[in-house]
Amino acid sequence: MFEDHLFDLFGLGIGDWMDENSIVAESVSWSERVILDDDQTGHRDSLEINYEEAEIAVNFLLLHGEGNLMIALDSAKIVEISVGFPKTLMQQLIEMASTPLTKHQFLSDKQIGELE
């Protein structure tokens, strides 16, 4: 089922691309909300809000490096990218995006500027 989401976003070639670039993908829960420490007031509320607002995302991890790139599956937006994830691989993912709409959704204006 997770693979179906990857195929929908990137096409059937995503598996070969991951193999060629030594990348693994994992399904993760992602949220912008910060969970407060156990001893902080509001910890329980922050857990509930995080759970309610969380999205399913794919986290691409480099096998031979420190980089990762996380993309929310529902919105197809890049929600996290580490310094160590090569921009060339991110550009390849964008090119593999299965529809023009998906390609547009991938990046904010700020992220597009960083690639140019």
Q: Tell me the pLDDT tens digit for each residue of 10-44.
A: 888 899 999 999 999 999 988 887 888 989 998 98
Distance, in Å, from the CA atom of 63 to the CA atom of 11, rounded to the nearest integer, reads: 22
Structure tokens at 110: 């700020």
Q: What mean pLDDT is predicted for residues 86-109? A: 71
Total domains in the chain come to 1
Give the pLDDT confidence score for residue 15 in this predicted structure: 92
Q: How far apart are CA 54 and CA 84, in angstroms?
A: 25
Domain with 76, as residue range(s), is 2-115
Q: Is the pLDDT of residue 111 over 60?
A: no
Per-residue CA distances from 4 to 9, 11, 97, 106, 112 (Å): 9, 9, 14, 18, 27
Helix (H/G/I), strand (E/B), else coil: 66: coil
Whole-model pTM: value is 0.76
